[in-house]
Copies of this chain bind each other. A is one copy, B any other.
């Protein structure tokens, strides 16, 4: 019984949010982004680095601490994390993708692709880039570019007709090098906030 429980826990912790195989076959030559040296999701440039879907184990690998470099996360318990993981997996359409430093077992980069199901454009799909963050101490290793291009190519692979993002002024140039464009007269992101997030 103890053994069985142990095995189940292991399987549970290594459970992926989505099938990791799709990341291995993304063709980085399709992206206008320039990588020097050349890297990809399958070959991220160092043996100790892996690009993969979020796993349940990432609660213990600093995923939430990394997100807190982006914005407030509040104090999320393991139970809350597990429940949200399950909800996201069941509904589909949320591709939370991470970079792990396997030497330290720490998540050092993350980005999410969300996919909206449309009726327009022949019942098409639209991707959105969300919650992009890379650990500051890993600057200069093209990780921001790597994680954004990974989920952008993933959107294309899944059949999205376009991918959209909202960003701060200072990030426009970065995203332009990856193929994103401000469309004249049609590039305004507006928000209504309902309450102070915790």
Residues in A lying within 8 Å of B, measured CB to CB: 63-64, 67, 70-76, 80-81, 83-84, 87-88, 91-94, 96, 114, 116-124, 128, 130-131, 152, 155-156, 160-170, 172, 175-176, 178-183, 185-195, 197-198
Contact = CB atoms under 8 A, between A and B. Distances in A.
Copies in the complex: 2
A163 B190 CA distance: 8
Contacts of A131: 118-120
11 contacts: A67-B120, A72-B120, A75-B122, A161-B194, A162-B194, A165-B191, A166-B166, A168-B185, A169-B185, A178-B192, A179-B192
A91 to B, nearest CB: 5
A117 B92 contact: no
Given A94-B116, A165-B190, A194-B160, A121 B172 contact: no
